[in-house]
Amino acid sequence: MKNIMDYVWLVPFFPLVGFLLNGLLRNSLSKPLTAVIGSGTILASFVVSVLLFMEVKSGHSGTVVLFDFISFGKTSIPFAFQVDALSSLFLLIITGIGFLIHLYSTAYMHEESSLHYARYFSYLNLFVFSMLLLVLGSNFVIMFIGWEGVGLCSYLLIGYWFRNVEYSSAAKKAFIMNRIGDLGFLLAIFWLIAKLGTVTYVDVFDKISTLPAKDLNIIALLLFIGATGKSAQIPLYTWLPDAMAGPTPVSALIHAATMVTAGIYMIARSNLLYTLAPTAQTVVLVIGTATALLAATIALKQNDIKKVLAYSTVSQLGYMFIGLGAGAFTGAVFHVMTHAFFKALLFLGAGSVIHAMHHEQDIRNMGGLSKKLPTTHWTFLIGCLAIAGIPPLSGFFSKDEILAAAFAKNPVWYVLGVAGALMTAFYMFRLYAMTFRGQFRGTHEQEHHLHESPAAMTIPLVILAILSAVGGFLGIPALFAEHAHWLEKFLAPIFEKSAALQHPHEIPHATEWLMMGGVTALVIVVISMAWSRFAKYQKTTEDATGLGKVLENKWYVDELYEAVVTKPVNAFGKLLEKVEKYGIDMLVNGVGRSVQYASRQVRLLQSGQVGSYVLLMVIGIIILFVLQFFLKK
């Protein structure tokens, strides 16, 4: 009997089929059929993923080569999949959460015409397909294929409502910012080929320790440029908040749970490289910390429910990079998983609110929704508690693991990380209080239509809420119970080479207890502050001033980029066009004109045009040649 490993291709194959069916037959499919194809294919992938996961858990892993993709000289890049602990875990997250979001979408997108409904599901399937390629590939090129693929799907889905110019601009921005990062990724691949002659993970990490430190740092930094694009880190983060133009389930799937974690996956996959390149790893740590803080400050002042969550995503991704930078690879992957649970939950919850409020997204016009939307309310609250890091919910465990690693590296990182965590708690409960507590502040019409969402939307919310609540128990720190960290054991084969090189400082248990307790107490204080300020929020017409205004305007980073990058590029283009018109072309025409002048003097001797003379001559020669050829024959 063949091993389940040999069927790994089925995992991306199902969504591909879904994409093709929904994409090509979109004129003839009914909405329910589209929904069944769209969600069913993901469910099928999920089932195969679970089987693969069981196989990996029982100690097997392997590579399956499908066909030879590109080869030149000694370098061969096969189209191959690698199933191991890291990829099988990501498979579960992608297909599992992906399925819930597909299910949710069947109800959320119901108002669309059947044509666009099918278009939506085909894009969503294509996205899952690309993401699966990204994590399954056994070399960097296949990862890159998926990498660009998810960027493309993100572009298509952000601009899904393409009649709106603002939306399609946001889509374009996302694609271009991702492309900037992609260039870094590509150059890293080329560098690897030039130095090692291979891009297959197994071979690369076998040979990589032979490279000099300079090459290691360059490759690591180039890869990280790619990661900053996809995972929305400084300086390439500004596309992600704008990406909220897409339908809300898309925000949940792509811009929170899966695509943005691609950068984390990439670095976790290359963990040995970063362990060997400490300079690059420090850069990761610095950028991660800076992003976590910057995004958290912006989130404090946003009034769009999705924008708050978007900046919170950017900030949480920063935490994952702190983990990677501090060498806590397991902690980063752990946070990817728990974040996927609670951020998908929060976004879907927000979608449920937006659905009920008839596309209202401004939390200043909400309030008091807890009575009308009970399921949404409860699940959303669990999400908020999880992300704020209240024990024993999942976010507590994963964030704690990252912060502990940061402390071991240097207490400065720890303090900054805690500051970010406190801001997280504040803006999340500001959001919660303004949305669900106090008086309703919308129009009467909106109030009249308030209703809980259908089951297809609330079931995923409940499942995700349960996962957000208990997901943390997969990674119980040694502090509570020795050897209870299941995830660490599961992922150990992936990180073993790095672990052998690392010498983390052990933190005394007493210190750890103190830190954990202290942070939790502070978080609770901050939550109560947010509660007291915003639970009875009333609309004001006052404009923010000073720092508040700067935060509302996101530190003016978009404006800065516009002035420093976009405008100069366009101006340079205009300049070159002038050069083209009046410089090079004039020169060429000038030469032509002087020749013409000379020929005019000669022309006095002749009657016709020089051009036609030349032509006739050439044609004559050609005819001569041809005739001669046929005569000879």
Q: Is 573 in the site for another protein (CB under 8 A)?
A: yes
Separation between Cα atoms, residue 269 and residue 84, nearest integer Å:
11
Angle between helices 455-470 and 329-356 in degrees, nearest 10:
150
Interacting positions 217-276 with another protein (CB under 8 A): none
Q: How far is the CB of 162 from another protein (least distance, A)?
A: 4
Are residues 451 and 353 in contact, defined by beta-carbon separation less than 8 angstroms? no
From 285-293, 464-472, 551-559, 610-618, span contacting another protein (CB under 8 A) = 610-618
Q: Is 600 in the site for another protein (CB under 8 A)?
A: no
Angle at 42 between CA 186 and CA 253, to 5 degrees: 60
- Nearer Cβ to another protein (161/440): 161
From 28-36, 103-111, 186-194, 385-393, span contacting another protein (CB under 8 A) = 186-194
Q: For tokens 């291709």, what's the residue?
A: 9
- Nearer Cβ to another protein (129/397): 129
* Alpha helices by DSSP H, 540-609: 546-552, 557-561, 567-578, 585-603
Cis peptide before 235 (omega within 30 of 0): yes
Q: How far is the CB of 136 from another protein (least distance, A)?
A: 15
Kindly state the DSSP code that residue 139 receives in the 8-state scheme.
Answer: B
- Nearer Cβ to another protein (607/629): 629
From 4-12, 350-358, 379-387, 612-620, span contacting another protein (CB under 8 A) = 612-620
Q: Is 562 in the site for another protein (CB under 8 A)?
A: no
Question: Which phi and psi (to 5°) does residue 83 adopt?
Answer: -110, 115
What token pair was written down for 115? 């044509």
Q: Which amino acid is at 11?
A: V
Q: How far is the CB of 41 from another protein (least distance, A)?
A: 19
- Nearer Cβ to another protein (224/436): 224
Which of 182, 242, 400, 401: binder of another protein (CB under 8 A)? 182
Interacting positions 122-141 with another protein (CB under 8 A): 141
What token pair was written down for 301? 């002042």
Which uninterrupted H or E stretch holds 264? helix 262-269
Separation between Cα atoms, residue 32 and residue 14, nearest integer Å:
18
Q: How far is the CB of 163 from another protein (least distance, A)?
A: 6
Q: Which residues contact 616 (CB under 8 A, 6 or more apart)?
A: none
Q: Is 577 in the site for another protein (CB under 8 A)?
A: yes
From 61-69, 268-276, 358-366, 519-527, span contacting another protein (CB under 8 A) = 61-69
- Nearer Cβ to another protein (162/480): 162
β-bridge mates for residue 81, sequence order: 64, 137
- Nearer Cβ to another protein (129/319): 129
Q: How far is the CB of 63 from another protein (least distance, A)?
A: 20
Q: How far is the CB of 349 from another protein (least distance, A)?
A: 30
Which of 65, 213, 521, 615: binder of another protein (CB under 8 A)? 615
Q: Which of 419, 240, 473 is nearest to 343 (CA)?
A: 240
Q: Is 28 in the site for another protein (CB under 8 A)?
A: no
Helices and strands (H, E) in the chain, number of each type: 27, 2
Are residues 471 and 341 in contact, defined by beta-carbon separation less than 8 angstroms? yes
Q: How far is the CB of 259 from another protein (least distance, A)?
A: 15
- Nearer Cβ to another protein (145/286): 145
- Nearer Cβ to another protein (191/561): 191
Q: Is 57 in the site for another protein (CB under 8 A)?
A: no
What token pair was written down for 267? 């670095």
Which of 25, 92, 187, 484: binder of another protein (CB under 8 A)? 187
Q: Is 31 in the site for another protein (CB under 8 A)?
A: no
Separation between Cα atoms, residue 166 and residue 580, nearest integer Å:
32
Interacting positions 68-107 with another protein (CB under 8 A): 68-73, 75
Are residues 311 and 302 in contact, defined by beta-carbon separation less than 8 angstroms? yes
Q: Is 533 in the site for another protein (CB under 8 A)?
A: no
Q: Which of 322, 326, 262 is nearest to 295 (CA)?
A: 322
What's the half-sphere exposure (Cβ side, CA atoms, 13 Å) at 255? 34
Q: Which of 261, 346, 315, 302 is nearest to 424 (CA)?
A: 315
- Exposure class string for 569-606: b at 16+ Cβ within 10 A, else e: eeeeeeeeeeeeeeeeeeeeeeeeeeeeeeeeeeeeee
- Nearer Cβ to another protein (50/610): 610
How many residues at the interface with another protein, by CB under 8 A? 61
Distances (CA, A) of 306 to 150, 309, 359: 21, 5, 11
The site map against another protein for 138-177 (x = CB under 8 A) is ---x--xx--xx--x--x---x--xxxx--xx--x--xx-
Which of 17, 25, 43, 180: binder of another protein (CB under 8 A)? 180
Separation between Cα atoms, residue 180 and residue 234, nearest integer Å:
13
- Nearer Cβ to another protein (226/389): 226
From 244-252, 294-302, 491-499, 623-631, span contacting another protein (CB under 8 A) = 623-631
What's the half-sphere exposure (Cβ side, CA atoms, 13 Å) at 308? 27
Q: Which of 155, 307, 327, 308 is nearest to 229 (CA)?
A: 155
Q: Is 207 in the site for another protein (CB under 8 A)?
A: no
Q: How far is the CB of 549 from another protein (least distance, A)?
A: 31
Q: How far is the CB of 599 from another protein (least distance, A)?
A: 11
Q: Contact residues for another protein (CB under 8 A)?
A: 67-73, 75, 115, 141, 144-145, 148-149, 152, 155, 159, 162-165, 168-169, 172, 175-176, 179-180, 182-183, 186-187, 189-191, 193-194, 569-570, 572-574, 576-577, 580, 584-585, 588-589, 592, 611, 614-615, 618-619, 622, 625, 628-629, 632-633
